[in-house]
Chains A and B, each alone.
Chain A
């Protein structure tokens, strides 16, 4: 693990699968992130981001209501207090074409590659 990672960075995990949220929370907390909340869909994610003001949102692309790109757009509209957003999915990046590049997000991590290190590479 890198020594210069922001250990106090607060994270909101957004995913509709509880098993993934639980594993991701454990993995990120083990890497020094502070998981401040979880959300199971887009609407819950936007509400939680407003209430918890996390530094970072780990956002699944496939959600039951809005998709991850729409949620990222809404979060970007929060202005100066907007959190950094990293998209994640069990699908490959290639399946989304250039949608990730044109979205207001820091990047994309496939779920199979999610770790504190891969996250730190994107958000510093």
Chain B
């Protein structure tokens, strides 16, 4: 058993004993009236605050609510001491008799955390303690209880400084006024707190707000009625109501506190929901990226087909058209001018050779046969040879790779070398393709101007999509030593 729990059990036994002591004092009191109601109020409210407070303290040791409730329970028994026929005990009861109300105010405005959250709450609690400690002491010192209408049979006041009736009345007036202000402000703070709370927190606050609000309203009315001089029967009605409500109040706090435990579970659940939503958003972003990438790949496919059509139309087709016309003209000239016909046929053969070369180049752009026939090393060698910028091939894998990987690697290098020739202003470039940790690492570096923007053109972005389709990555960066590096990494078990 922990030290705290042992201490709490000790406090519980103490509360039980003090309660019994208070009951004995009330039952033997010459002035407590009505005795039954007083006994009910002291024991029911005192014990319920003390025991529920100790339970709350045990369950939530880090929260001030438990200690505050326990303190209310113990200070509540001061009211029992005021029933004593012994003047010293009676005086102690009078001095501390109202302290529990200030602690209730403190608890209400700080619930459920047990901490005072804002300036207004601190002011309210300050007024409550001011009214119930220094003003109460001042009042007790200045007032002779035997002269009070509701204290018939009370013992003499051992701490009385007599002869200041006017001052005593003034202190009493300030005390009641402070009490009314503190209670009214506490009700307002409680209501404001409840109003701005989200639904889950309201579940925690509701029992406390309604019971506490009711208790304070009764207390307020009791104070006002007392000041205005209500009948004894009316005062008894409020007294009975106060017993009921103040007995219920600690259970309301306990219920709220337990709900806040449930609330914590809901907080965890809510955190999980948020995490889930974040994961969903991440997933949706990935899906969106995939959708965009797929769209770009389809678009790139269309663009590629348009390029092939354009290349065919502008290249081989035009040459074949010219060839047709030259042949037609040669045929017409065959009889009348055989020499010119011969020249036309020579031209036709040149056109035909160029058309064939263009078709071969076009076919290589669609799919390089050398790649499928002889692999990456030969295909990259061909790219290096055809490049107008001198290219040094540093490394290529000796073994064959899966066809999609070889194809993507080839086109990354082809596009990168085309960009080097077109834009880099480089005097040379290097190509390196190596197998590293289950992936193919591709690097095309040049010694040109750098500053390549991969977002500017469609070529590299299309290649990035092509590489991403194989779960790979492509990056373009400026090299520290100058020039541009196009680097790609494609998984390749």
Residues of A within 8 A of B (CB): 17, 19-20, 22-24, 26-27, 30, 62, 90-91, 111-112, 114-115
Q: Does B407 contact A (CB under 8 A)?
A: no
6 contacts between A and B (CB under 8 A): A20-B322, A23-B326, A27-B325, A30-B332, A90-B318, A114-B325
A19 close to B329 (CB less than 8 A): no
Q: How far is the CB of B399 from chain A (nearest CB, A)?
A: 45
Given A112-B324, A114-B325, A90-B317 contact (CB < 8 Å): yes
B328: which of A17, A91, A115 is its contact (CB, 8 Å)?
A: A115
Q: How far is it, in angstroms, between the C-alpha of A17 and the C-alpha of B332 when the chains are bound?
A: 24
Does A22 lie within 8 Å of B332, measured CB to CB?
Answer: no
Q: Which residue from chain A places its CB closest to the CB of B317 in the assembled complex? A: A90
Task: Assess whether A19 is in contact with B322, with CB atoms less than 8 Å apart.
Answer: yes
Q: Which residues of B contact A26 (CB under 8 A)?
A: 325-326, 329, 344
Among B318, B324, B329, contact of A30 (Cβ-Cβ < 8 Å): B329
Q: Which of A24, A62, A91 contacts B325 (CB 8 A)?
A: A24
**Category for how many chain B residues contact A:** 10 to 19
Question: Contact partner of A62 among B313, B321, B324, B326, CB < 8 A?
Answer: B313
In the assembled complex, the CB of A26 is this many whole angstroms from the nearest CB of chain B, namely: 6
Chain B residues with CB under 8 Å of A30's CB are 329, 332-333
**Do A19 and B313 contact each other (CB < 8 Å), given the known contacts A27-B329, A30-B329, A90-B321?**
no
A111–B351 Cα distance when bound, in Å, is 16
Within the complex, what minimum Cβ distance (angstroms) separates B215 from chain A?
Answer: 89
A contact residues around B332 at 8 Å (CB):
30
* B466 on the A face (CB < 8 A): no
Q: Are B322 and A23 in contact (CB under 8 A)?
A: yes
Name the residue among A19, A20, A26 with the largest chain B CB count within 10 angstroms.
A19
**Neighbour of B318 across the interface among A17, A27, A114, A115, CB < 8 A:** A17
Query: Chain B residue with minimal CB distance to A91?
Result: B313
- Residues of B contacting A112 in the complex (Cβ-Cβ under 8 angstroms): 321, 324
Residues of B within 8 A of A91 (CB): 313
> Does B314 count as interface, using CB distance less than 8 angstroms?
yes
B328/A27 in contact, CB under 8 A: yes
